[in-house]
Amino acid sequence: MVFAAGYYIGVDVGSLSCDSVLIDEANTVLSSIVVPTGVSGQKSSETALKALLQQSTLEFDQIKNIVSTGYGRERVDYAHKAITEITCHGKGATHLFPDTTIVIDIGGQDSKAIRVTRAGKILDFVMNDRCAAGTGRFLEVMARALEIELIDLGPISTRADKSCPISSMCTVFAESEVISLLASGNPVDQIVRGIHEAVARRTMGLVQRLKPKAHDVVTLSGGVAHNQGMVAALQKFLDMRLNVPAEPQLVGALGAALLAREKQQ
């Protein structure tokens, strides 16, 4: 198929959501979509593509290049190239915030700290992909143990004047610890704040391995950045300037779209 010039798509197939962004030659975002990944990354990526084209009133043959990223990037049949999420998050974060030197991506199943140049080139990175500790999955399990909605964790946390420390970062043991704290009569808001601080400490450990400096500027990516309690905890422990995009879950897809445009040129 011969592609017309002008439009580029990035699609990020994560464990929880499939995020997609469409840009033009000027890097302007024309449309974006977030859909649940569900049981099939391939199906969700097709749903995302259809929604993008409907939003923008474009036809598929007007798209010049498509890059996929995320853990399900190899399942996007219509993509021309697959690129790792580390590269795409670095590219997307530095496009949104050119002063970024470290990117923190807290995803559903893993978390990453990425050192980048101001042009978005990856210099170093560390990952937590061996267990759910410090990830969106960890927060999901804790919310279920507290019998509250995941979306309510942030507002509840910000009401607390102090935290109940969570000593274990093993998801199973931490869940038991949360249940014990509840049974002992500890306020839910203080427990939630303790959960966020536990994740922030774990994330700080990743960042420390990048040898952070006083002038470093951190940009958050991933849907967890919507949680204001999590952002507050990270700000407290990192003690660095923190950028939070308006749509943090789209950073990887945006980076993929930008790379699609660069590579086509």
d(CA 85, CA 246): 19
Q: Comparing C-alpha atoms, which of 82, 60, 59 is closest to residue 10?
A: 82
Q: What's the predicted TM-score (pTM) here?
A: 0.90
Q: What is the pLDDT of residue 40?
A: 81
pLDDT per position in the chain (265 positions), as tens? Answer: 344 468 999 999 988 889 999 999 999 999 999 998 877 878 899 999 999 999 999 999 999 999 999 988 998 999 999 999 999 999 999 999 999 999 999 887 889 999 999 888 999 999 986 677 778 888 999 999 999 999 999 999 999 999 998 888 788 888 899 999 999 999 999 999 999 999 999 899 999 999 999 899 999 999 899 999 999 999 999 888 899 999 999 999 999 999 999 987 7
Q: What residues pair up with 116 in beta bridges, in sequence order?
A: 122
What is the structure's pLDDT at 64? Answer: 95
Query: What confidence score (pLDDT) does residue 4 get?
Result: 46
Per-domain boundaries in the chain: 7-89+250-264, 99-244
C-alpha 93, offset from chain centre? 11
**The pLDDT value given to residue 167:** 85
Tell me which of 3.40.50.720, 3.30.420.40, 3.40.50.10470, 3.40.50.1580 is the CATH number of domain 7-89+250-264: 3.30.420.40
Centroid of chain to Cα 249: 5
Instruction: Output the pLDDT for position 249.
Output: 93
151 burial type by CB count under 10 A (0-12 exposed, 13-18 middle, 19+ buried): exposed
pLDDT score recorded for residue 15: 80
The CATH number of domain 99-244, selected from 3.60.40.10, 2.60.120.10, 3.30.420.40, 2.30.110.10: 3.30.420.40
Neighbours of 162 (CB within 10 A): 10
- Tokens describing residue 207: 């960042």
Cα separation, 64 vs 179, in Å, equals 52
Q: Which of 62, 77, 85 is closest to 5 using CA atoms?
A: 62
